[in-house]
């Protein structure tokens, strides 16, 4: 096993699985890894928190899959460009 001081995943691994995590599509193992990273990482936490609130909100609006998909893409692009 390679040495990893915090025993978890890095920011890239965690952020790269952001949407799968929020959609509940990750394996139990990865869900736990990503969650523990978010809890400890001040850089990633705002992203996940924002995404979660955003996704909850647009889903609660029941805009339909097409509009929701467009909004998700826009916010995804914005985050990736940040």
How far apart CA 71 and CA 80 sit, in angstroms, is 14
* Least separation in angstroms between CB 7 and Zn ion: 14
Q: Exactly one of 17, 18, 44, 48 binds Zn ion (CB under 5 A); which one? A: 44
Q: Exactly one of 9, 41, 48, 51 binds Zn ion (CB under 5 A); which one? A: 41
Determine if 53 is a binding residue for Zn ion (CB under 5 A). Answer: no
Place of tokens 């890894």: 33
* Least separation in angstroms between CB 52 and Zn ion: 15
Residues near Zn ion (CB under 5 A) are: 11, 41, 43-44
């Amino acid at each position: 096993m390679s040495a990893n001081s915090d025993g978890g995943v890095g920011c890239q691994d965690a952020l790269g699985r952001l949407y799968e995590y929020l959609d509940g599509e990750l394996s139990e193992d990865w869900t736990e890894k990503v969650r523990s990273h978010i809890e400890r990482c001040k850089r990633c936490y705002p992203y996940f928190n924002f995404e979660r609130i955003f996704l909850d909100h647009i889903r609660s609006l029941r805009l339909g899959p097409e509009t929701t998909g467009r909004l998700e893409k826009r916010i995804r692009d914005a985050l990736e460009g940040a």
